[in-house]
């Protein structure tokens, strides 16, 4: 571990002990020209990525007591591309489920979508307008387990209908988590989603809003 002054975003000893084996296996599999990068401490690379994630700064503004920002980003890009980041996420999700007396693989989940505005440097081709919410930007199609832990996420232009994105997200869910047989959705999802779910072995139930006015948590949705 580095002797520098700690940042609040640094991974703790206990948490590093959980995920370090994943990165150790990754490094052991590296050979050839990339082996030169082994001079950098993997924990410090992870700490630098967490710092950027927590603060939202551009990579080039990474403090100088971390490894060079280009090196940090190179690790980040490689881990995103080869599935290492997802492997760490899945490991922590499974441990969290077991800690809550659940099986590692869920049998039920919740699907929803959210449109958000994008920054000015996002290509127009990847954006769209959500006519219902009057938002120009992108849409996140998200499937979580009943604890709120992420199972599948899909990002599209905001103009993509919830049902279209939902069907694609369900397909990815069925491939990654075949144990899921039940999905709860809101009224924004059309019959086509229910039919698609039935086709791939998932019962999609649309939870209707109550007739009473005002905000009320929906059963199974909150």
pTM of the model: 0.81
Res. 187: pLDDT tops 90: no
Q: Which helix (H) or strand (E) holds 84?
A: helix 84-99
Q: What is the pLDDT of residue 1?
A: 52
Position of tokens 């990339």?
34
pLDDT in tens, 70-107: 999 999 999 999 999 999 999 999 999 999 999 999 99
Res. 220: pLDDT tops 80: no
Percent above pLDDT 70 for the chain? 90
- Superfamily of domain 105-206 in CATH is Ribonuclease H-like superfamily/Ribonuclease H (3.30.420.10)
pLDDT in tens, 16-46: 999 999 999 999 887 655 554 567 899 999 9
Query: Residue 202 burial (CB < 10 Å; 0-12/13-18/19+)?
Result: buried
Q: Where along the chain do the CATH 3.30.420.10 domains lie?
A: 105-206
DSSP string computed for 49-76:
HHHHHHH---GGG--TTSSPHHHHHHHH
């Amino acid at each position: 571990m580095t002797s520098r002054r700690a940042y609040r975003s640094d991974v703790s000893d206990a948490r590093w002990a959980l995920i370090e084996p994943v990165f150790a296996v990754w490094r052991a599999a590296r050979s050839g020209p990339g082996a030169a990068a082994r001079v950098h401490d993997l924990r410090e690379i992870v700490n630098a990525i967490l710092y950027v994630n927590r603060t939202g700064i551009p990579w080039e503004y990474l403090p100088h007591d971390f490894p060079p920002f280009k090196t940090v980003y190179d690790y980040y890009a490689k881990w995103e591309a080869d599935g290492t980041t997802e492997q760490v996420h899945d490991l922590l999700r499974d441990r969290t489920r077991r800690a809550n007396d659940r099986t590692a693989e869920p049998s039920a989940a919740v699907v929803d979508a959210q449109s958000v505005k994008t920054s000015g440097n996002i290509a127009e081709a990847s954006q769209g307008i959500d006519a219902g919410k009057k938002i120009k930007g992108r849409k996140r199609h998200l499937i979580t387990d009943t604890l709120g832990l992420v199972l599948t996420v899909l990002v599209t232009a905001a103009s993509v209908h919830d049902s279209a994105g939902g069907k694609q997200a369900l397909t990815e869910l069925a491939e990654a988590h075949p144990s899921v047989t039940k999905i709860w959705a809101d009224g924004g999802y059309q019959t086509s989603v229910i039919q698609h779910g039935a086709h791939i072995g998932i019962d999609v139930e649309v939870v209707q809003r109550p007739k009473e006015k005002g905000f009320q948590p929906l059963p199974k949705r909150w």
